[in-house]
């Protein structure tokens, strides 16, 4: 078993195994009805049901070099993907939830999708421009991108708060990677965590109560796969942070928004060594 796709209940603290496979699969999103998950593996997307976890491929057209930065629109009708088939660098596309031909959104590359605004109008992503990692937003239809950070360390992993006011992200601007947030319309960023860990991939819960973070040991650079990491839960302002559990994981465990629609459960992937 290489990948174990699991759910964690915030209310009970219990973990449920949904599906295990010898394949490397990553980055689970809940379907809008909360009855299934969308993951990536082998450069493609797949869907599994929670009651009957048989993998079903999602048609992504020409895009067959997807990374693990993908997710659903708030109305559940479209998917955002990050793929490098067309340009050799990651570009962001949208396509119907049932599959189809991808529509290009970002022309500045590389760009890696991470969040969809609650009103469905904008996408948040990490863009690398001249080797500088920053947070950007763009209209779903494309056009000019809006830059929200300006090279203060490495900035990555943006995700919208439930009310759309904030974009949470991880940044190394203070030295070790920590969680920050910036107003979604632009403005000054504020630090949320000040931990001994390397904090990555903040995901606000749909009810606005919680923030889920993946934490590496403090001396780990970047977000590699196959290390012991922690999943930590905290208030939306970073208060009352606590470790839920440690696991063997990292890259692929919770790269994208992974909360259930009701905010009671989140999905993640646990790995076994190759």
Domains in the chain, please, with CATH? 56-265 (2.120.10.30)
Check residue 240 and give its pLDDT. 98
Span 28-44, average pLDDT:
97
Say whether pLDDT at 274 is over 90.
Answer: no
Neighbouring C-alpha atoms within 13 Å toward the C-beta of 223: 23
Q: Are 156 and 165 in contact (CB under 8 A)?
A: no
Residue range 216-225, pLDDT digits in tens: 999 999 999 9
pTM reported for the whole predicted model:
0.97
Total H helices, total E strands in the chain: 0, 23
Residue 124: CA atoms inside 13 Å, Cβ hemisphere, count?
A: 33
Say what the pLDDT of residue 1 is: 84
> Looking at the chain, how many residues does it have?
274
Identify the pLDDT of residue 60: 98
Residue entry with tokens 């992937």: 269
Averaged pLDDT for residues 13-27: 98
CB under 8 Å to 131, separation ≥6 — which residues?
none
Confidence of residue 260 (pLDDT cuts 50, 70, 90): very high
Instruction: Provide the Cα torsion 160, 166, 172, 177; round to 10°.
Output: -60
What is the pLDDT at residue 74? Answer: 96
DSSP conformation letters of 87-153: TSS-EEEEEETT----EE---SSSEEEEEE-TTSSEEEEEEEETTEEEEEEEETT--S-EE---SSS
């Amino acid at each position: 078993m290489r990948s174990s796709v699991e759910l964690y209940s915030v209310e009970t603290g219990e973990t449920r195994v949904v599906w295990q496979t010898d394949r490397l699969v990553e980055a689970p999103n809940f379907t809008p009805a909360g009855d299934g998950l969308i993951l990536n593996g082998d450069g493609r997307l797949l869907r599994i049901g929670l009651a009957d976890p048989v993998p079903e491929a999602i048609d992504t057209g020409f895009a067959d070099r997807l990374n693990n930065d993908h997710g659903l629109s708030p109305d559940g009708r479209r998917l955002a993907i990050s793929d490098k088939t067309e340009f050799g660098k990651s570009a962001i596309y949208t396509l119907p939830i049932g599959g189809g031909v991808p529509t290009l959104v970002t022309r500045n590359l590389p760009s890696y999708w991470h969040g969809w605004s609650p009103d469905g109008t904008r996408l948040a992503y990490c863009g690398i421009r001249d080797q500088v990692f920053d947070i950007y937003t763009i209209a779903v239809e494309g056009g000019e991108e809006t830059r929200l950070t300006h090279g203060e360390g490495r900035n990555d992993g943006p995700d919208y708060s439930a009310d759309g006011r904030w974009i949470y992200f991880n940044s190394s601007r203070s030295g070790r990677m920590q969680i920050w947030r910036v107003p979604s319309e632009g403005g000054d960023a504020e630090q949320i965590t000040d931990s001994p860990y390397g904090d990555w991939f903040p995901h606000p819960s749909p009810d606005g109560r919680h923030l889920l973070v993946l934490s590496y040991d403090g001396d780990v650079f970047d977000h590699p796969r196959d290390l012991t990491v922690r999943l930590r839960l905290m208030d939306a302002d970073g208060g009352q942070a606590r470790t839920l559990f440690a696991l063997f994981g990292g890259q692929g465990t919770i790269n994208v928004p992974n909360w259930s629609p009701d905010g009671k459960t989140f999905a993640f992937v646990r790995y076994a060594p190759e």
